[in-house]
A = this chain, B = another copy of it.
C-alpha cells in the first residue's frame, strides 16, 4: 500500500486529520489514541496498522502538515516574475494557510516546541528542502536581503507571520487584503538589504 503524503488511503488520512484537530484542542499527550480512533471512525487497532506508535504518528503528521504548508506557499508561483513579487506571494500564501488551517498552525507550533522536533531533527517535508529554502538562499546570494545568517531568516519570517495569524485567530479580527500586504511589507522592510541596489 502507498504510504506517501499524497495518498488516497482514506483511513490513514482520516487518522491524520482527526489527530490534527484533537491535538489542537487538547495537546499531544492530552489526546488519547482511543479518541483519535473514535473521531476517525476507525478501530483503535487500525491506527497501529498505519503507524508504529503514537510517537511516529505525531512525526508523520508533522511531515504531512509541513508538506501541505509547502504546497500552499508555492501556489500561483511564477518563476518569471520579479523576486520581490514572488516573495510577497509566498508570504501571503503562508499567512492565508495559517488562518485557513488553524489546527495546522497550532499543531506545528506545538510540534516545534516539543521533544519530537529534537528527537527527529532530520524529519521534514521535501518541498521545503527542494523549493522553499533554496528560494530564500537565492534571495540572500543575490543581495535582496540583509547579510544575516540564512538559517535565521526563515525562523524570523515565520515567527512574524505565526504571531500575526495567532493574534488574528484569537481576537477574531478580520484583516483585509490591505492589512496582510502591510504585514508582509513589514517583513520585507525588516530583512531587505538597504545598502546596495539589487
- Which A residues are within 8 Å of any B CB, using their own CB? 25-30, 106, 109-110, 112-115, 118, 146, 148-149, 151-152, 155-156, 158-164, 166-167, 170-171, 173, 179, 182-183, 186-187, 189-191
Contact = CB atoms under 8 A, between A and B. Distances in A.
B182 A186 contact: no
Contact of A27 (B28, B106, B112, B160): B28
Determine the main DSSP class of A at the interface with B.
helix
A86 B182 CA distance: 26
A31 to B, nearest CB: 9
A114 B27 contact: yes
20 contacts: A27-B28, A27-B29, A28-B29, A28-B30, A29-B30, A109-B109, A110-B113, A113-B113, A146-B182, A148-B182, A148-B186, A156-B160, A156-B186, A158-B163, A159-B161, A159-B163, A160-B160, A186-B190, A189-B190, A190-B190
A29 B28 CA distance: 8
Contacts of A170: 118
Given A152-B163, A152-B164, A189-B190, 19 more contacts: A25-B115, A29-B30, A110-B113, A112-B166, A113-B113, A118-B170, A146-B186, A148-B183, A149-B167, A151-B171, A155-B163, A155-B164, A156-B163, A156-B186, A159-B162, A160-B163, A160-B190, A186-B190, A186-B191
